Structure 1
Amino acid sequence: MGSVLCANVIQEEMASNSTLNDFFEKYFDPRKMMQSYTANESSFFDDTILQLFRPLVKTFSSGGVQGETLIDMSAGLYFQYLFPASEHFKEITITVSSDKTIPEVEKWLRDEPGAVDMSYAAKVVAELQGNLENWIENQNIFRTKVKNVLKYDVRRCNPLYPVVLPQADCLLLTHCLECQVTSTESYSSALKNVLTLLKPGGCLLMIVAIEESFYMIGDIKFPHLCIDVGFVTKELTDNQYVIDEIQVFPRTICSLYDLADYTGIAFINAHKETHDCYSNK
């Protein structure tokens, strides 16, 4: 009863006097999100998070994508898929959607007491790499490569405003657009904004939740722009990007639709103009 009342109050507030981003900043809880999705073994982790991790870990572990700098844009405390990238990039920038997430990331980077426990996901990533025994070392190497932890706003021409960074060799987008916009028109504008962070010829990697309209964090229902793979690929081609690889992983778990209602996960690897960031080109 309490959770239903809470949800009703929040929906009324959002409709009356709060933008999506104000709503997100007020109610988002990065620790609760991690507990819900990536902290422990669960059916949801095995179905969804592994689908998200596998292509990214494979891509980074192969060394096929590398360079000086990588910018990651995600919605919460799940960047463990970046651990293999430590071997192929000199500097990594983590960007997040909420001010609340930044101190949590920084505390983990400093390995402070009370920091979030990423051990389960770290072990999964190490196992996917084939070096489970190195899961602690992988985290420590990654910590040395992270040079910035910043907040993004995809509605801005410079999503990292007021910070200005050199354009990156690789840009990774994980649910960052769909969680901050409310229409396909605003998605198009936001995509153009984030693509300015990638240098010409750079590698664009995307994880897209297919046909998801909401996701839950605790008792709070957060809206998510409902899109499909065809829409995203058209947006990329309209921005003169070439799709190098698409993998679509249909949802297999039949339960937990009350947690998030996606129908699948898509991995997209694309580039614009050249393949300069590919080591074999």
Structure 2
Amino acid sequence: MDSCSYKLYHIDGLDSRKGLETYFSGKEDMVFGEDTIIFPIENITKTFTKGHIKGDVLIDFSFGPLVHHLFAACDFFKHIIVLKIQDRCIMELKRWVDERTGAFDWGHAAKCHVDNKESSEQTQERENKVRSALQHVVKCNLGKDNMVDPILLPPADCIITAVFCLLEFISKDKDEYMRNVRKFSQLLKPGGHIILIGCLEATYATAGKHKYHLLNHDEDFVRKALVDAGFVIDNCKVKKRTNVSDLIDYKAGIFIAAHKDTV
């Protein structure tokens, strides 16, 4: 398939449940768990437990109806605001928040955050803590300079864009990627932090019968995009891909924590 015929996540839509089951489930034959679940959780947890990223408001703008990267965040932020592009993702996320029948099971990810991984009670407590902190799910429009216009959000102490490749999905080219990073910067307080989790050297991802565009870039470009948007990089980890699958063609995952320069 020619890359120009790939669908665009934010324009053509994506079956959010199919995306969860393919890349984020706890099924034994789901080969991406090391990269899409363990890698983000381990690095976010290490970053937050250092104690310098915390506050009242965290804004999450991530792929699909994901929540597993927020299981650590709820210990350090009072309020979590989630931004979503698609109504379908909002419905899927709210199904989990409201504990409705048919909600996606995140138990396998919650176990990564409890001391006794066999304790269903501890796992449930962890999920409920996220539900309590996740107070608002807001639809956004990437075509606007202020993505959430006409809503006024409180300036965030931290913004997360994850997992595994949200910016790569919504950016048609490198210029648009850099514009999107600058839009995220506008949501932050001076000195606020950004956590970015993406994939490197990818061109497509498959969900169901369709292939979706991913922006092909490398670590140097991601670093430059953040610095040019006024961020100072505090930590960067790159994990080379080890799984084998033709569903997505990334070469590595990247985790970056940075803060907004106040100078």
TM-score, structure 1 as length reference: 0.84
Matches within 5 A, 1:24-35: 25=13, 28-35=14-21
Q: Which residue of 2 aligns with 1:207?
A: 197
Does 1:265 find its partner at 2:258? Answer: no
1:20/1:269 CA distance change after superposition, 3 Å: closer
CA gap of 1:52–1:238, structure 2 versus 1, over 3 A, is same
**Aligned pair partner of 1:126 in 101, 113, 119:** 113
Offset of residue 59 of structure 1: 2.0
Could you tell me whether the CA contact under 8 Å between 1:154 and 1:194 is conserved in 2?
Answer: no
- The corresponding residue for 1:228 is 218
How much has 1:152 moved relative to structure 2?
2.8
Equivalents in 2 of 1:50, 1:186: separation in Å? Answer: 29
3-state DSSP of counterpart to 1:244 = strand
C-alpha distance in 2, partners of 1:61/1:131? 19
Matches within 5 A, 1:144-163: 144-163=132-151
Q: How many residues align structurally?
A: 255
RMSD across aligned C-alpha pairs, in angstroms? 2.2
| SS of aligned partner of 1:122 | helix
Q: Using the TM superposition, name which of 68-77 and 187-196 deviates more.
A: 187-196
> Aligned-pair distance for 1:72?
0.7
Post-superposition offset of 1:213: 0.8
Runs of 4+ more than 6 Å apart: none
1:169 is paired with a residue of what secondary structure? strand
1:188 corresponds to: 178
Q: Which of 1, 5, 10 is the aligned partner of 1:21? A: 10
CA 1:43–1:177 in structure 2 vs 1: closer, same or farther (change >3 Å)?
closer
Indicate conservation of the 8 Å contact 1:167/1:197, yes or no. Answer: yes
Contact 2:185 2:260 in 1 (8 A): no
- TM-score, normalised by the number of residues in structure 2: 0.89
Alignment of 1:1-281 (within 5 A): 11=5, 21-23=10-12, 25=13, 28-40=14-26, 41=28, 42-123=30-111, 125-127=112-114, 130-132=115-117, 133=119, 134-174=122-162, 175-253=165-243, 255-256=244-245, 258-273=246-261
Cα distance in 1 for partners of 2:99, 2:9 equals 33
- Larger Cα Rg: Structure 1 or Structure 2? 1
> Percent of counterpart pairs with the same letter?
33
Structure 1: gaps of 5 or more residues: 1-6, 275-281
Aligned-residue offset at 1:87: 1.6
Distance in structure 1 (CA, Å) of the matches to 2:66 and 2:211: 19
